[in-house]
């Protein structure tokens, strides 16, 4: 027998521990080299743990849901072993009749909640896609539905099953919809679901930001017609040349960098009693994901072309949806942009992402009546909001910085000449 140990990969310096999600293999099953054995969730990313060698999973040392640290032993692989006879049947949960229905019914019978049959990360995905645990075949421990099960079901076109016991007329909370066959919970269902590590980390950082920064927000409005006309004029040729669509975010990134160069303190951060001025422009782009809000970083955004920005944002968006963003891709940043307009937000006061000192909030562009040269005209307007740390950024710099962004968007040619 030749044993190879499977250990927790290295975590970020700021991450002390992680949580085991769901084993994709059972003890006794054959594994191939680099086959993903389990996903481990930190407060920043989900890490995949591949098999270091081919063989048989001889022992699972740490079970689903265990808290682990870097380099901790979690499993052992026998490189000379053979899969047990029972392993193939255990590895094919889809062949068993109604694998998710049994745990669901058991949970209902014992008064359990949906969290009893769906992992926390899976519960969020189920709610986002309007699915119940009974709609998805669970491959986790005791038939629990994992994130991978939900992603696979969505990719294969799974649709919500018709309600069996819950009356259709009764409203249900997004994550509290009773599984098929569950007893009537009445008009006031509840469900207790533990926060994921990422959600808990987001909550911690938001509280930290509110308690340590002197946050103030300044607003302005921008006529998006010049950007919209420029985008419409070059969209086809841009897509043909670069293989990616020309979006609005690249204009906002360029406008932000333009303003940060004029007013460097907006790109600075507080370090104890010092102000740390950054000679580079790393722009964080807030992206929604099934696990929560993440902020991947555009490194050296001032050196990126419009095409570079659009390609990187598209790459980050795909990685965020797949849970593939790396820690290094979300570390650092000197300024952030949050686009609530994609969800229809008209106005908001974004919270600073520490240790940064400012963040730009972009909103929905709507046709509005405005006055130009004494005449009322209709223009596509967008309200910009910039929150800033008043400890180091005075109102003058904040207002002028936002005006510089407005001017760059209303006359994009300024970006070419840096004026």
What's the CATH code of the domain at 15? 2.40.50.100
* Residue 41 in tokens: 């969730």
Active-site positions read 390, 394
Report if residue 152 sits inside a domain. Answer: no
Q: What pLDDT does 164 receive?
A: 45
Report if residue 272 sits inside a domain. Answer: yes
- The strand pair at 46-50 and 18-20 is best described as unpaired
Report if residue 183 sits inside a domain. Answer: no
Report if residue 287 sits inside a domain. Answer: yes
How far is 24 from 8, CA to CA, in rounded Å? 15
Report if residue 37 sits inside a domain. Answer: yes
How far is 320 from 316, CA to CA, in rounded Å? 6
Q: Is the peptide bond before 355 cis (omega within 30 degrees of 0)?
A: yes
Cβ–Cβ < 8 Å for 176, 189 = yes
Q: What pLDDT does 110 receive?
A: 39
Report if residue 203 sits inside a domain. Answer: yes
Domains held by the chain: number: 2
- 306-322 and 225-242 are packed helices; what angle lies between their axes, rounded to 10 degrees? 80
Closest to 77 (Cα-Cα) out of 97, 53, 110, 94: 53
Residues 73 and 202 in one domain: no
Q: What pLDDT does 285 receive?
A: 95
Q: What pLDDT does 323 receive?
A: 79
- The strand pair at 55-60 and 73-78 is best described as antiparallel
How far is 230 from 410, CA to CA, in rounded Å? 11
The residue among 46, 78, 110 that closes a domain is 78
Edge-to-edge strand list for the sheet holding 46-50: 46-50, 36-41, 18-20, 67-68
Residues 204 and 74 in one domain: no
* Residue 241 in tokens: 């040349």
Report if residue 383 sits inside a domain. Answer: yes
Range(s) of the domain holding residue 296: 198-416
Mean pLDDT by 10 residues, the chain (419 residues): 87 77 89 89 80 90 89 89 56 41 39 51 72 74 70 66 46 48 65 80 82 93 96 95 95 97 96 94 90 88 96 92 83 93 92 93 96 96 97 96 97 82
How far is 294 from 290, CA to CA, in rounded Å? 10
- Number of neighbours of residue 123 by Cβ within 10 angstroms: 25
3-state DSSP assignment of residue 169: coil
Residue 71 backbone dihedrals phi, psi, to 5 degrees: 70, 10
The residue among 78, 112, 132 that closes a domain is 78
How far is 315 from 305, CA to CA, in rounded Å? 15
DSSP β-bridge partners for residue 18: 68
- Written as one string, the DSSP assignment of 113-161 is -GGGTB-HHHHHHHHHTT--GGGS---SGGGPBPHHHHHHHHHTT--PP
The CATH code of the domain that includes 208 is 3.30.559.10
Residues 66 and 209 in one domain: no
Q: What pLDDT does 92 receive?
A: 41
Q: What pLDDT does 119 receive?
A: 65
Residues comprising the chain, all counted: 419
Residues 74 and 215 in one domain: no
Enumerate residues 6+ apart whose C-beta is below 8 A from 240: none
Q: What pLDDT does 94 receive?
A: 41
Residues 74 and 203 in one domain: no
Report if residue 339 sits inside a domain. Answer: yes
């Amino acid at each position: 027998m030749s044993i190879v140990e499977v250990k927790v990969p290295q975590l970020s310096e700021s991450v002390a521990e992680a949580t085991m999600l769901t084993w994709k293999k059972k003890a006794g099953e054959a594994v191939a080299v680099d086959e993903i054995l389990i996903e481990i969730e930190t407060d920043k990313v989900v890490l995949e743990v591949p098999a270091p060698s081919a063989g048989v999973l001889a022992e699972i040392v740490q079970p689903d849901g265990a808290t682990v640290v870097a380099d901790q032993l979690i499993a052992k692989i026998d490189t000379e072993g053979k899969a047990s006879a029972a392993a193939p049947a255990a590895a094919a949960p889809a062949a068993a009749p109604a694998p998710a229905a049994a745990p669901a019914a058991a949970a209902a019978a014992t008064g359990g909640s949906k969290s009893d049959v769906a992992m926390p990360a899976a519960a969020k995905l189920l709610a986002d896609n309007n699915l119940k645990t009974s709609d998805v075949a669970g491959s986790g421990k005791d038939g629990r539905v994992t994130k991978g099960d939900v992603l696979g079901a969505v990719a294969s076109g799974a649709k919500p099953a018709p309600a069996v016991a819950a009356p259709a007329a009764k409203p249900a909370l997004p994550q509290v919809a009773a599984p098929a066959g569950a007893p009537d919970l009445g008009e006031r269902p509840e469900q207790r679901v533990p926060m994921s590590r990422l959600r808990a980390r987001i909550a911690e950082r938001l509280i930290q930001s509110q308690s340590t920064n002197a946050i103030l927000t300044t607003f302005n409005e921008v006529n998006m017609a010049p950007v919209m006309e420029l985008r419409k004029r070059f969209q086809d040729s841009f897509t043909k040349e670069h293989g990616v669509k020309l979006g609005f975010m690249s204009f906002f990134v360029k406008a932000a960098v333009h303003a940060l160069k004029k007013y460097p303190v907006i790109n600075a951060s507080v370090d104890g009693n010092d102000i740390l001025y950054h000679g580079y422009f790393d722009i964080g782009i807030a992206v929604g994901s099934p696990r929560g809000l993440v902020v991947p970083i555009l490194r050296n955004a001032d050196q990126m072309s419009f095409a570079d920005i659009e390609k990187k944002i598209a790459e980050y968006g795909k990685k965020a949806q797949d849970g593939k963003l790396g820690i290094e891709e979300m570390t650092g940043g000197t300024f952030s942009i949050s686009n609530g307009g994609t969800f229809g937000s008209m106005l908001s006061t974004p919270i600073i992402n520490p240790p940064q000192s400012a963040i730009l909030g972009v909103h929905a562009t709507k046709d509005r009546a405005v006055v130009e040269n004494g005449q009322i005209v209709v223009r596509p307007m967008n309200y910009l909001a910039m929150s800033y740390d008043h400890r180091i950024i005075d109102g003058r710099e904040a207002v002028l910085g936002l005006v510089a962004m407005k001017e760059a968007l209303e006359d994009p040619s300024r970006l070419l000449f840096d004026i």
